[in-house]
Structure 1
Amino acid sequence: MVEERENMQTIPGIEPAVAPSGTGCVECLAEGGWWFHLRRCAACGHIGCCDNSPSQHATRHFEDTGHPFIQSFEPGEEWFWNYAEQTVYEDGPALAPPRSHPLSQPVPGPADRVPRDWQQKLNP
């Protein structure tokens, strides 16, 4: 289900002024892992890897914290996902910059940790 929601900045769980935690998945960087795509928690700025990534840290962050909204942290993507409602929103408030990882950062990443057979290691 795709919805657009105006005035998302008034919804609990979205803090537009909070900066992202970095340019890569916090846990993958700490553990020596890799990711496919990145997601940003709209409440605290935590950067985690998507559900197609081997470790699915963005969803784990939601499960651990209850922070319901994430936004894509991929260049050119601005959609939000609400875990609690299982709903995607095509737009919402502008979150504090940067809005995505650097264009120079490869997908998947980080470049020096991605295995040659990475496509076979993705979650469906």
Structure 2
Amino acid sequence: METDGIPGIDPASAPSGEGCAECLAGAAPGWWFHLRRCATCGHIGCCDSSPSQHATRHARESGHPVLTSFEPGEDWFWNAETNEFMEGPAMSAPTERPAAQPVPGPAGKVPPDWQQRLH
């Protein structure tokens, strides 16, 4: 998809949820450090520091290479094919995880030794 002349970004795509879709669906280990949003379809996945790295896996498997942060105060874009930051348009709301969603998250699923499990 191409919007505003930027391949792979659809600003109108809605986020798939409030947390990593795969982790919330029960994919082990079921928790994340930070969240990323697919700029093409809105899929929410966990970052590459998270144990499962679902956002980058989605980018590679779906052919949607551009990710954006789903964290408060962050508005950057990352191309998972070229491994480069890039500029992008404002995305549709919500543009960040809910304030009640802790980092790491989700609440009640994060192991006590989570810092040792980061990539």
Question: TM-score band (shorter)?
Answer: over 0.9
Alignment of 1:26-65 (within 5 A): 26-31=21-26, 33-65=30-62
AA partner of residue 105 (structure 2): G
Partner of 2:114: 118
Give the Cα–Cα distance (whole angstroms) in 2 for the partners of residues 27 and 50 of structure 1.
12
Instruction: Classify the secondary structure of the residue corresponding to 2:105.
Output: coil
Which residues of structure 2 form unaligned runs of 5+? none
User: Hey, which of these two has a bigger chunk of helix by percent?
Assistant: 1
Partner of 2:8: 13
- Tell me: higher relative CO, structure 1 or 2? Use CA pairs within 8 A at least 6 residues apart: 1
User: Could you tell me how far 1:31 is from its partner in structure 2?
Assistant: 1.1
Percent identity at matched positions?
A: 65
Instruction: Classify the secondary structure of the residue corresponding to 1:120.
Output: helix
- For the Cα contact (< 8 Å) 2:6–2:88, is it kept in 1? no
User: Could you tell me how far 1:9 is from its partner in structure 2?
Assistant: 2.9
The number of residue pairs the alignment matches comes to 115
TM-score by length of structure 1 reads 0.89
